[in-house]
Structure 1
Amino acid sequence: MQLTRRGAAVLVLAVLLLVGGQWGGYPVLRGLGAVLLGTVLAAVVLTARGMRVGVRRTVYPDRVERGSIAVARLRVRNPGSARQPALLATDGLADLPQTVRIRPLRPGTEATYHYELPTGRRGKFDVGPLVLHREDLFGLARNRLATGATSTLRVHPKRHPARAFAAGHSRHHHEGASTDDALRGSLDLRDVREYVPGDEIRHVHWKATARSGRLMVRALADPEQPRFTALLDTRPGALPAAAFEEAVDLGASLLTAAAVAGRHSRLVASSGLDVPTSGGAHAARALLDALAELAQSGAPGAAVVPDALAARRGTGGCLVLITSPAVDLAELSLLRHRFSAIFVFAVGDPGPRATAVAGVRVLGAADAAHAVRLWNEVAG
């Protein structure tokens, strides 16, 4: 229990009136000081009573798109044998708290309250801890109690309906390099070779063995699969804050479409973030979780293409770079032989920008919605 600022001011005023009235012989001042002092003491007594309640809070859904509705459900129970007076409960995000008035509870009863959480910003946020507090009628004293565990709310970027890129790879690659990060779950026959100790018997090629008179086994390799890579320019100052949010929304739209379509999807950032996935709904959620926390970081003047992507071997399917109109695209010349298609979205540029890098298509877009419309025209 503690006095509020108002309570402390009233207490000081009461003491001054009592002292002044006693010293000057003014009974009215003494009486007024006694009334104020009694009011403060009464506020202390009323708020000093303990708050014995059980509190449980859940957040649903725990992952939402920016601007969508996220609701917190608060269950308050009185486990005691005495009536619990009304309380105030402050909850929500740290910088955007919300206060809920808890009505009086009879012994053994429970009440449920719902309130919306702010979802105007993307990110990973802690909801809580819940703070119970009781104040007197005049706001002179307050009793506070932090209770309950914190919950996590992830606000994903806003997504626009996008198409998955239609271009892919052939199912069989009997010649040439195999994919260095191939997906598991299917195998293609790459070659037939002579058996060596350690090979599995189930891979024996009986027809080749009969023709050659030697034990031959299948040399299998994972087939290349359609894959999609989104590279976001996260260098400080490369994009204004508003344009960077549009870039993240664009990346979320394209990656979600690719992952849901079963593409091997990968999120790469200039800061070094690398999130490879094998496609599907779980992959889409992992990518969106990473995008929710993505921020502009890195050394000023750093390369837009991180070393991990530049040094990677093998083919990579389709690459989309999301950056600013003023970016130098010379770095992409090193990736032309590795990707079947390369697109650059210059966010904030109302029109296409010419580039000297052959094999790279540049699209200018004012925002994420405009960029997705352009993508849907070329992705088929």
Structure 2
Amino acid sequence: MRLTRRGVAVLAGAVCSYAAGEVAGFAYFRGLAGVAAGCLLAAAATTLLRPRVEVSRTVYPDRIERGRPALATLLVRNPTPHRQRGFAAVDRAGTAAHEIQVRPLAAGVDTTYHYELPTTVRGRLQVGPLAVRLSDPFDLVHAERAVGGIASLWVYPRRHPARPARVGHPRHHHDGPITDPPLRGSADMRAVREYQPGDEVRHLHWKATARTGQLMVREYADPARTRFTVVLDTRPAALSPAAFEEAVEVAASLLYASAAAGQPCRLITPAGTDTPVDSGLRVARTLLDELCVIAQDATDEAPLVPPPLAATRPVGAIVVITGLDADLGPVRRWRLDTVIRLGFLKPAAGPGSITAVDATAAIAEWNASRAGTS
């Protein structure tokens, strides 16, 4: 609750009138001050009576690529047996505010309002609650009351059409044992489990089926299945804020393309983020959620990969996304597939290195280097 300019003027007049009445001894001025004070109190009491409405909100889609349209739908309902007067309201989405003039509502009636949400900045956007603006007839006091809940809009980084990571290096014995979740699709049996619709009938395990009384199938793993790891540099000294946004777009493009191509993926950052997922579009959302809220939260002194993670090289293809002059540290000893450096254009250091000014150029070079691979 706050006084408007008119309310401040009335309050100042009340104080001056009362002071003049006390000094000059005129009851008229004291009475005038009392009337002004009474008006302010009545105005404040009026703003305490907020409309009794129910507010629900939906955001569609709840996950959207940066720059693409997203819509908020606001349903305002009058649950009382009496007519509700109209009122002004503000629905906030992040730092943006959308003003809504709610029409008068008859008993039990609802009305719907639509508006577009801002999607120009990557991140998780909080939408709501609805702030009802209340004022008195004389415009002396303004107040806002929160009504209804909140919703979230995940604004993903933009994705550029990218080729998945190439078949990569063959898996050697020195890469260590498989520690990822079980992978399906090859000739190495990992386990026997219950049959699920869609499983290959030729994989039925008849002995286990006879023993348990339920259909059981063999689950296979592929030790040589391509895996893809992205190391994204989140140290502030490595990338400027603008270049970091481009780096996030590169990471999102490569991880999404590789996951969609059936490759298990993993995201690592200097701050300790370690997000391994299996393949497929459904699990790719886990990586996109992570990249939606990721920030330059590592210290400048931190190594590119935390020591516990740097001790063992990830299996499969590895891509590092960093700045032009950033130090790779111990990661340099890994068998890196590609190092992508973003910033002002410089000549590439050699094979396995991409230098680009932005995500569009970086992905274009990536696609060109993988032309003809699968």
Shift of 1:266: 1.1
Is 1:259 matched with 2:259?
Answer: yes
Is 1:354 matched with 2:353?
Answer: no
Instruction: Evaluate the alpha carbon distance shift between residue 330 and residue 296 of structure 1 in structure 2; reply closer, same or farther with a 3 A threshold.
Output: closer
Q: Matches of 2:109 and 2:242 in 1, distance apart?
A: 48
Tell me the equivalent position of 2:326.
327
Instruction: Evaluate the alpha carbon distance shift between residue 176 and residue 137 of structure 1 in structure 2; reply closer, same or farther with a 3 A threshold.
Output: closer
Q: Matches of 1:250 and 1:43 in 2, distance apart?
A: 56
AA of the residue aligned to 2:349 = A
Tell me the equivalent position of 1:206.
none
AA of the residue aligned to 1:260 = A
List gaps (5 residues or longer) in structure 1.
191-199, 204-217
Using structure 2 for the length normalisation, give the TM-score.
0.80
Q: Matches of 1:157 and 1:77 in 2, distance apart?
A: 36
**In structure 2, the residue corresponding to 1:369 is in which secondary structure?**
helix
Shift of 1:230: 0.9
Map 1:52-131 → 2, pairs under 5 A: 52-131=52-131
Q: Matches of 2:207 and 2:172 in 1, distance apart?
A: 22
Q: Matches of 2:108 and 2:206 in 1, distance apart?
A: 69
Tell me the equivalent position of 1:152.
152
After superposition, what is the alpha-carbon deviation per residue over 1:99-134, rounded to whole angstroms, capped at 9, x for unaligned? 211111121111111122222221223222222122
AA of the residue aligned to 1:71 = L
Is 1:181 matched with 2:180?
Answer: yes
Shift of 1:305: 2.8
Structure number with larger C-alpha Rg: 1
Instruction: Evaluate the alpha carbon distance shift between residue 6 and residue 64 of structure 1 in structure 2; reply closer, same or farther with a 3 A threshold.
Output: farther
Q: Does the 8 Å CA contact 1:18/1:29 hold for their aligned counterparts?
A: yes
Q: Does the 8 Å CA contact 1:178/1:224 hold for their aligned counterparts?
A: no
Instruction: Evaluate the alpha carbon distance shift between residue 99 and residue 189 of structure 1 in structure 2; reply closer, same or farther with a 3 A threshold.
Output: closer
Q: Matches of 1:180 and 1:317 in 2, distance apart?
A: 13
Instruction: Evaluate the alpha carbon distance shift between residue 176 and residue 40 of structure 1 in structure 2; reply closer, same or farther with a 3 A threshold.
Output: closer
Instruction: Evaluate the alpha carbon distance shift between residue 201 and residue 67 of structure 1 in structure 2; reply closer, same or farther with a 3 A threshold.
Output: closer
AA of the residue aligned to 1:318 = A
Q: Does the 8 Å CA contact 1:186/1:223 hold for their aligned counterparts?
A: no
Shift of 1:78: 1.1
AA of the residue aligned to 2:338 = F
Q: Matches of 1:310 and 1:288 in 2, distance apart?
A: 23
AA of the residue aligned to 2:301 = G
Q: Does the 8 Å CA contact 1:60/1:70 hold for their aligned counterparts?
A: yes
Identical columns (%): 43
Shift of 1:237: 1.3
Shift of 1:371: 0.5
AA of the residue aligned to 1:375 = W
Is 1:371 matched with 2:362?
Answer: yes
Map 1:1-380 → 2, pairs under 5 A: 3-4=3-4, 6-17=6-17, 20=20, 40=40, 43-44=43-44, 46-136=46-136, 138-168=138-168, 178-181=177-180, 183-189=182-188, 222-312=222-312, 316-329=315-328, 331-336=330-335, 342-354=337-349, 361-380=352-371
**In structure 1, the residue corresponding to 2:337 is in which secondary structure?**
strand
Shift of 1:50: 3.6
Q: Matches of 2:134 and 2:221 in 1, distance apart?
A: 68
Instruction: Evaluate the alpha carbon distance shift between residue 344 and residue 26 of structure 1 in structure 2; reply closer, same or farther with a 3 A threshold.
Output: same
Q: Does the 8 Å CA contact 1:7/1:40 hold for their aligned counterparts?
A: yes
Using structure 1 for the length normalisation, give the TM-score.
0.78
Shift of 1:251: 0.6
Instruction: Evaluate the alpha carbon distance shift between residue 201 and residue 53 of structure 1 in structure 2; reply closer, same or farther with a 3 A threshold.
Output: closer
Q: Does the 8 Å CA contact 2:169/2:317 hold for their aligned counterparts?
A: no
Alignment length (residue pairs):
346
Q: Matches of 1:225 and 1:202 in 2, distance apart?
A: 29
Q: Matches of 2:234 and 2:22 in 1, distance apart?
A: 71
Instruction: Evaluate the alpha carbon distance shift between residue 102 and residue 247 of structure 1 in structure 2; reply closer, same or farther with a 3 A threshold.
Output: same
**In structure 2, the residue corresponding to 1:11 is in which secondary structure?**
helix
